[in-house]
Amino acid sequence: MAKKLNKKKMGSGILTAVFSLLSLIWVSPILIVLMNSFKKSGGISLFPFEFPNAETFNQFNNYINGITHGNYPFYMSMFYSLIITVLSVALILLCTSMAAWYINRVDSWFCKMVYYLCIFSMVVPFQMVMFTLSKTANMLYLNNPVTISIIYLGFGAGLAVFMFSGFVKSIPMDIEEAATIDGCNTLQTFFLVDAPVMKSTYISVGILEIMWVWNDYLLPYLVLDRTKYMTIPIHIQFLQGSYGRVDYGATMALIMLCLIPIVTIYVICQKHIIKGVLSGAVKG
Amino acid sequence: MKKENRKKHNTSAIANKNQRRAVQKYAPIFLFPTFAAFCIGFVWPFLQGIYLSFFRFKTLRNIKFTGIDNYIAAFKDQQFFKSFLFTVVFTAVSVILINVIAFVIAFALTKDIKGSTVFRTVFFMPNLIGGIVLGYIWKIILDGVIYRFAETTLELNSTYGFWGLIILMCWQQVGYMMIIYIAGLQSIPSTYMEAARIDGANGFQLLRHITLPCVMPSITICTFLTLTNSFKLFDQNLALTKGNPAHETEMLALNIYKSFYESTTNMGVGQAKAVIFFVLVVIISLTQLYFTRSKEVQE
């Protein structure tokens, strides 16, 4: 018995070692980028896997170059990415939660139709509406970082309405009736009674939508007026595509700048993030 | 599951007519903003997309009805067919690899390992990084390796391009699927295992007859998630290989994109391809629905 236990312990020890190694391999791409972001461009293309030495070490110059230089400074892209994400996600959360509540409480034929249309929209690939959506957006002047949130609300409504509906169904009607008797009107009932109950769904949907909007490339690329506004993914793609000579050092630094906020936020609230991301998985 | 939902759905509407009327007055505030945006962002572009697939056009000012010519052109397009084949092969390989790796890792992590939460956190992380950034991280690394050993790059050799895409997809998706599998594995009642062990089942038999059947729902979910993700892949494809060399690593989504924005004559073909793509995705989703439903009947 003791021997068996010992063997088990050893097995688990080996597994731990294997997984430590595997984890290291898993994060190594990011570490390599981090390492190279401190090297001069020549050092990167010649020796991408070596630590920066005295000759190739470039201090923070890559970061400074990447952020400020070029026809379009990177901090502008970060700023627009942030604005688009915050506005779009706020709008999506507010509007779709209200719509989902209304759809479930009123339940008329029209509401049902909207609900099934929303579910249908989750299946449609973006390429299907890519061209026509960008034309519509241009026509209606929805092509700047503030108004693009309306496009995001429209195209992202499906999943959000679906997820909120799932939760609204489980809210007991009694608490709403109690609020009505206490003299709340419909708006007050929703914001004072239902919204606080839906907090966890707000977090889950919020995380899903933040990840989508923050990382989205094609939609803002096609919709936004590219000469004036760029987001981080567009900027990174632009660095690679159109410049005659790619400044590898600056690119690495910029990739690192994209990763730092993501990784920081992930480490701080990973429980919510994993839960939120998973709740979106079980759709349909 | 579904039936229960439906029952709840009926009770989630307000029964009292007068009360419902009172709520309905608020429709302009509650429903209208989402509905209007939904029409602008989805319904109208979708319908217009189907409509335009029957026209020959370069700009929206000048469209000419051509019937199903665009569809014929799309089906005759050799490159479109090649992209379809490439997408199918890529999807098959990535679905199998991702699910096997994710399952093995999940299986090992549910045994008691020290620091298993740390490992989970690490494996899940790449999922949060967007496709474009992810693509460039791997492009830089893989090009560095390949150039040193084979003196070529991802954009010059389609075999490396293909496996580069696979590696990238695995890196991104394994963590996600692993979490789903872990949830599935942890929901297996330990009494099943104990009973089987008392009956003298060995490790392999436990896996084959208890674990696998019990996590079947997770396997279905993960298979379809990876299937649709791989099938619709765009950002990663654009960032890693751009479809090079000579369109050999071009997947369907990228092919459609190029038929739109790199075409100088007729964008209608691109729109027709997009409709075909949409139909393919719907078929996959319906199959998924069928599989998840038929599971429920068994239970």
**Which helix (H) or strand (E) covers residue B265, if one does?**
none
- Determine the residue of chain A that is closest to B290 in CA distance: A284
Could you say which residues from 153 to 212 on chain A have a Cβ atom under 8 Å away from some Cβ of chain B?
153-158, 161, 166, 168-171, 173, 180, 186-187, 190, 211
- Whether B4 is covered by a domain: the verdict is no
| Among A127, A131, A125, A133, residue whose Cα is nearest residue A152 | A133
Would you list the domain boundaries of chain A? 15-59, 72-281
The pTM for the full model equals 0.86
Per-residue CA distances from B268 to A162, B63, B271, B279 (Å): 33, 9, 5, 17
Q: Please check whether residues B133 and B224 belong to one and the same domain.
A: yes
Q: Please check whether residues B23 and B120 belong to one and the same domain.
A: no
Q: Do B121 and A267 touch (CB under 8 A)?
A: yes
- Collapsed DSSP state (helix, strand, coil) of residue B245: coil
The answer to whether the complex's ipTM is over 0.90 is no
A25 bridge partner residues:
none
Q: CB-side exposure of B139: number of CA atoms within 13 Å?
A: 25
d(CA B175, CA A24): 14
d(CA A284, CA A163): 10
Could you say which residues from 223 to 242 on chain B have a Cβ atom under 8 Å away from some Cβ of chain A?
225, 232, 234-235, 238-239
- Whether B59 is covered by a domain: the verdict is no
A57 bridge partner residues:
A39
Q: Please check whether residues B32 and B89 belong to one and the same domain.
A: no
| Among B170, B180, B166, B169, residue whose Cα is nearest residue B120 | B180
Chain B: nearest CA to A99, how far in angstroms?
5
Q: Please check whether residues B36 and B180 belong to one and the same domain.
A: no
Check residues B165 and A51 and name the one with the higher pLDDT.
B165
The secondary structure of A139-161 as a DSSP string is HTT--STTTHHHHHHHHHHHHHH
List of chain A residues whose C-beta atoms are within 8 Å of the C-beta of residue B41: 133, 150-157
* Structural domain boundaries enclosing B263: 72-298
Of B129, B277, B288, the CB nearest to A128: B277
Per-residue CA distances from B89 to A184, B103, B162 (Å): 58, 21, 10
B274-279, Cβ contacts within 8 angstroms, sequence gap of 24 or more: B274/A125, B274/A127, B274/A128, B274/A130, B274/A131, B274/B49, B274/B53, B275/A128, B275/B49, B275/B50, B275/B53, B275/B71, B276/B71, B276/B74, B277/A125, B277/A127, B277/A128, B277/B252, B277/B253, B278/A124, B278/A125, B278/A127, B278/A128
Q: What is the CATH number of the domain that holds B246?
A: 1.10.3720.10
What is the SS3 string spanning B3-48?
Answer: HHHHHHHHHCCCCCHHHHHHHHCCHHHHCHHHHHHHHHHHHHHHHH
Indicate the number of domains in chain B.
Answer: 2
d(CA B31, CA A95): 8
Q: Give the pLDDT confidence score for residue B294 in this predicted structure.
A: 66
List of chain B residues whose C-beta atoms are within 8 Å of the C-beta of residue A180: 19
Check residues A250 and B30 and name the one with the higher pLDDT.
B30
d(CA B244, CA B232): 18
Place of tokens 């067919």: B81
* Average of per-residue pLDDT across B227-248: 88
d(CA A206, CA A214): 12
**pLDDT tens series, chain A, 284 aa:** 455 566 667 777 788 888 888 889 888 888 888 888 887 766 666 566 666 766 667 667 778 777 776 677 888 888 999 999 999 999 999 999 999 999 988 888 899 999 999 988 988 999 899 889 998 988 898 888 899 999 999 988 888 999 899 888 888 888 888 888 888 888 888 899 889 999 988 988 998 888 889 999 999 999 888 778 888 888 888 877 655 556 777 788 888 888 888 888 888 888 888 888 777 665 43
Q: Please check whether residues B88 and B205 belong to one and the same domain.
A: yes
- Whether B148 is covered by a domain: the verdict is yes
- Whether B3 is covered by a domain: the verdict is no
d(CA B248, CA B231): 16
- Collapsed DSSP state (helix, strand, coil) of residue B111: coil
B147, B71 Cβ separation under 8 angstroms: no
Peptide bond connecting B245 to the previous residue in cis, omega within 30 degrees of 0: yes
Per the prediction, chain B carries an average pLDDT of 85
CB of B141 within 8 Å of a chain A CB? The answer is yes
List of chain B residues whose C-beta atoms are within 8 Å of the C-beta of residue A29: 137-138, 141, 171
Q: Check if CATH label 3.40.960.10 holds for domain A72-281.
A: no
Q: CB-side exposure of B146: number of CA atoms within 13 Å?
A: 18
d(CA A270, CA A232): 23
- Whether B96 is covered by a domain: the verdict is yes
d(CA A62, CA A256): 11
Q: Please check whether residues B46 and B76 belong to one and the same domain.
A: no
A37, A249 Cβ separation under 8 angstroms: yes
The first and second tokens of residue B26, run together, are 């608020």
Q: Give the pLDDT confidence score for residue B83 in this predicted structure.
A: 92
Confidence of residue B94 (pLDDT cuts 50, 70, 90): very high
Q: Give the pLDDT confidence score for residue A156 in this predicted structure.
A: 87
Disruptive mutation site among A128, A237, A239 for chain B (greatest number of B CBs within 10 Å): A128
- The identity of residue B57, as a single letter, is F
CB of B265 within 8 Å of a chain A CB? The answer is no
Q: Give the pLDDT confidence score for residue B186 in this predicted structure.
A: 87
The first and second tokens of residue A119, run together, are 């579910």
List of chain B residues whose C-beta atoms are within 8 Å of the C-beta of residue A237: 132, 238-239
B230 pLDDT above the threshold of 60: yes
